[in-house]
Structure 1
């Protein structure tokens, strides 16, 4: 199956992008079982994504990308997630790392930030470079306030970064990692910065890929930064200390960037269950099973509509109180819907749900992982409750970010 596009070229029409995502998903699907079982590291899936040209989905059209907004991206991710959930989630980590920068397209920036933005877009489009996020640390997860990785300035204006990250997706796969760190001596403050660290920078190393019960294909491992030196040009947007405040105002990438992937997994669960019932005329003619499928379809349709509404609100008013609440609601509902559909599937499909030879068993495990990804269910509900009560959601002290 030929997927490769000329460098930097993506379809102009969204329907064509969806068709490309379907074609790419079909190429990813055969790898899902082997990667999940540990028979393959999953690196082939990211080669497929690179060659399809999808790394530039969010990059503005004038820079050679597709210029997708949050809503369109969520739809594409759901298409990929329905065919290979782990690959979709790993692919999302690339877009989490660059998404906020892509959204700055058309906004005049200071010279250093403008240079950084142009460099990153060129690396993604012409270099087909894969980025990843390196934030999570032992004891604090992905919360920026808990970051202990530190940096110090060098005499020539660069930075030396030292620390350890506990869960870095695309470990050993990505070309660059966007690393969260704080200036030495600022522990506990909200001043966190991000730096772009190359996989082959001296002092960068990765541990063994974590043995996960699902999503093994995200190639998640620990990362050590042993006095890694980076030039000032790799300070994200050329500004120190603003990362937490950016997250507070516009949390959609960190909170719900991967919601589309879990929506796709939920869609795959319904598709398998429907096919299972349809394969037997007796089962297909049962009013009881028809009602069960109807309930599953309604739940999934509600989740899909909420994800679409959240995306539309982000695209129309990024950082607004309504958009920020909507992405938390979407993350919560999708995280609840997948496991609920999984329970329905087990009841309907019986032994097919536990057979390792069939994809449903893998999908059931994958769906449950939505609840451990930020924001966790209780954090989403707290945010929505505070929004309902009129709490100032832009106050960085209102939440444990």
Structure 2
């Protein structure tokens, strides 16, 4: 099913059509193998870069298209529809680039945003073993030395680790300042003392590397500080307000892929002498799947508009979109497995992969439990 979205401009539809062709021709044929082997989807990455669909949000002054958030959402949605792992590298590269944009440094933009046009990969190194939802409790230290900083610490659950060219690393510069003592730095993967640990053996998103990152006496020049000292957490949380909208788009794409496959199966599969699609109970399930999916899509697109406008209600809308879309993706993919019966429970059907991939969208870039507290805070702010 494809609903014609009247809210999309002709330019947005053109982008969606372009990425859909790439997704179906290049990315979809490799999706099952990427999941089975856990190998980084090199072909997907190269195809998106070649078509100018990898980092369209980069401003024109740094060689990008200066595209709006909705454009990024449409790209992620269409890629995730066929291979969620392939949608995560551009997604996280976008997240890691946002602190550079929010800091307003033209020098850092020239050095680290321009290479995205040619496919450079970024990673967002905020989380640690004891600093997940509680981002302010990071322990990685950045100590001033001659010419810059020495960084020591360990990051955990870092997407794109091991394949990234650059890491955006949050580290404590003032241990006595709490959340205001965290700063952000650009660390090169080639810097001495930087190493990535083994890839986590994950339930889903298996083609997207998730590894610990170890920083041992890493010297970072002072000109790689992003923003000012103490602004790291503000930049990180501000970046997440914008970025979790594309996680919502990823969830929408996963759900759409599952619904497409389930609807096709139900229309073709016959039991008791007639197609499964003739049974009212199954028709109602498909209707509910489509209804919740479309609500998630429209909430995501509404949040994308607020991201582009930097609206004051962005934090609520980004949290709501990511929370609702990821919960919807989990429900739709689970229902898709149920509709396919025993076949849906096997690796021969893509819906079981989609169900596994959907789960993490409820967890990363703000666990949905945390996002509900964020939304509640916004609701109560006027009372």
> TM-score when scaled to structure 2?
0.89
> Which runs of no fewer than 5 residues in structure 1 stay unpaired?
1-11, 393-401
Q: Does 1:18 align with 2:16?
A: yes
Contact 1:96–1:257 under 8 Å retained in 2: no
Residue in 2 that maps onto 1:170: 160
Residue in 1 that maps onto 2:219: 229
Q: CA deviation at 1:361?
A: 1.0
Q: CA deviation at 1:175?
A: 0.9
Residue in 2 that maps onto 1:160: 150
Residue in 2 that maps onto 1:205: 195
Matches of 2:43 and 2:327 in 1, distance apart? 31
User: In the alignment, which of 193, 202, 207 is matched to residue 217 of structure 1?
Assistant: 207
Q: Does 1:285 align with 2:278?
A: yes
Runs of 4+ in 1 over 4 A off after TM superposition: 247-251
Contact 2:179–2:233 under 8 Å retained in 1: no
Matches of 1:56 and 1:137 in 2, distance apart? 27
What do residues 147-188 of structure 1 show as CA deviations (whole Å, max 9, x unaligned)?
A: 1111112222x2211110111111221111111111153473
Residue in 2 that maps onto 1:367: 358
- Distance verdict in 2 for CA 1:296–1:170, change over 3 Å: same
Residue in 1 that maps onto 2:262: 273
Q: CA deviation at 1:145?
A: 0.3
Matches of 1:203 and 1:215 in 2, distance apart? 28
Contact 2:100–2:108 under 8 Å retained in 1: no
Residue in 2 that maps onto 1:71: 70
Contact 2:15–2:71 under 8 Å retained in 1: no
Contact 2:174–2:181 under 8 Å retained in 1: no
Q: CA deviation at 1:64?
A: 2.3
Matches of 1:220 and 1:20 in 2, distance apart? 29
Q: Does 1:307 align with 2:304?
A: no
Matches of 1:249 and 1:93 in 2, distance apart? 15
Q: Does 1:245 align with 2:234?
A: yes
- Distance verdict in 2 for CA 1:372–1:44, change over 3 Å: same
- Distance verdict in 2 for CA 1:22–1:76, change over 3 Å: same
Q: CA deviation at 1:240?
A: 1.8
What do residues 78-127 of structure 1 show as CA deviations (whole Å, max 9, x unaligned)?
A: 111101101112321100001354467xxxx5xxx2212222232223x5
> Which runs of no fewer than 5 residues in structure 2 stay unpaired?
1-9
Q: CA deviation at 1:254?
A: 5.1
Contact 2:142–2:151 under 8 Å retained in 1: yes
Question: Secondary structure in 1 aligned to 2:297?
Answer: helix
Residue in 2 that maps onto 1:5: none
User: In the alignment, which of 329, 336, 346 is matched to residue 320 of structure 2?
Assistant: 329
Summarize the alignment of residues 21-40 of structure 1 with structure 2, pairs less than 5 Å apart: 21-26=19-24, 27-38=26-37, 40=39
Matches of 2:95 and 2:40 in 1, distance apart? 22
Q: CA deviation at 1:259?
A: 1.7
The number of residues matched between the two structures is 369
- Distance verdict in 2 for CA 1:253–1:380, change over 3 Å: same
Matches of 2:60 and 2:305 in 1, distance apart? 19
User: In the alignment, which of 331, 347, 352 is matched to residue 338 of structure 2?
Assistant: 347
Q: In angstroms, what is the RMSD of aligned CA positions? A: 2.3
> TM-score when scaled to structure 1?
0.85
Residue in 2 that maps onto 1:58: 57
Contact 1:270–1:296 under 8 Å retained in 2: yes
Matches of 1:186 and 1:85 in 2, distance apart? 41
Matches of 1:191 and 1:150 in 2, distance apart? 10
Matches of 1:39 and 1:223 in 2, distance apart? 19
Question: Secondary structure in 1 aligned to 2:185?
Answer: strand
Residue in 2 that maps onto 1:183: 173
- Distance verdict in 2 for CA 1:341–1:128, change over 3 Å: closer
Matches of 1:20 and 1:256 in 2, distance apart? 21
Contact 1:135–1:142 under 8 Å retained in 2: no
- Distance verdict in 2 for CA 1:180–1:215, change over 3 Å: same
